[in-house]
Chain A
Amino acid sequence: MVKKYLSKIYMGIIFIFLYAPIIVLAVFSFNESKSRGNWTGFSLKWYIELFHDHDIRSAFYYTISIAVIAAIVSTILGTIAAIGINSMKGRTKALILNVNYLPVVNPDIVTGISLMILYISFNLDFGFNTMLLSHIVFNTPYVILSILPKLKQLDVHMTEAAMDLGATPMYALRKVIIPEIKPGIVTGFLMAFTLSIDDFIISYFTKGEGVTNLSIVIYSMARRGVRPTINALSTIMLFVVLLLMILINKRSNGVEKKKLKREV
């Protein structure tokens, strides 16, 4: 069973590699001094500084609000588009899917720059709106990619059955199709939200004066050197993410358990 031990050691090393940096960041966020080598004592002063930092507070506000709005808009836009695209055939459909796929494939920097050029060419004022618009642009393809497979899996006779029973096409859409693709819609929404929260490059190129997001703030702080307030921020974010993922995991496990129960 040497193999089992080797496997465990190997995975252990991989996970140490993946987590050590983040954990180090977290540990030193509680360090009294700025130093990253010496532990001078436990302190929450970096957290307090974090809360008082105006830049970070406004960045946080913008990050969340853009992520929420962009996720909602791109989910609605993407759902309608996916339903439409699913009914298309042939070369038109292929063309649309290819163009739709472009922001997914393109490096963020190219997407960001192309949008920047677009806005300037149309003399738009850079600001909250341009950043929001950009987020919707790059989120929607991912929403569509989440929903299309679910649509393809739908029994084609389901809409016909609904109409056979007296439902108008709209009623069938509302009461039959959308409930069926709901998992895809939810996944799409979560993806859009996550991508927006995390985005740096596209926001960087399409924001305006006074508008920023967390990633950009961290970038400008990091460029000036190491700051323990960033450590504090990263610890908090790590915590939130951990919590979210545990919640999501529990929820999907709970659904699994309920399913098993009913079968018994």
Chain B
Amino acid sequence: MCLAVPGRVVEIIDAGDIAFRRAKVDFGGVRKEINLAYTPEAEVGKYVLVHVGFAISVIDEAEAQRVFQYLEELGALKEELGEIPQ
């Protein structure tokens, strides 16, 4: 039930009160109207994390790369890509 899915904001629909602010959000080709009341910082082009019709967070794209940077530090991915001598 705590499932939440990231989607890209494609259009914001202002409706006066912030409680009714909505957006069209694209989930890999499927578009749904999502309530933006809890993510006032959401902008067109940003990714939001959506749970039961509500955006609950804007994805931090720099932080999203962190695990891959960590793996790179381990040398693991570089080895896989053949970028460093075995």
A interacts with B: no
Which residues from chain B sit less than 8 Å from chain A, CB to CB? none
Which residues from chain A sit less than 8 Å from chain B, CB to CB? none
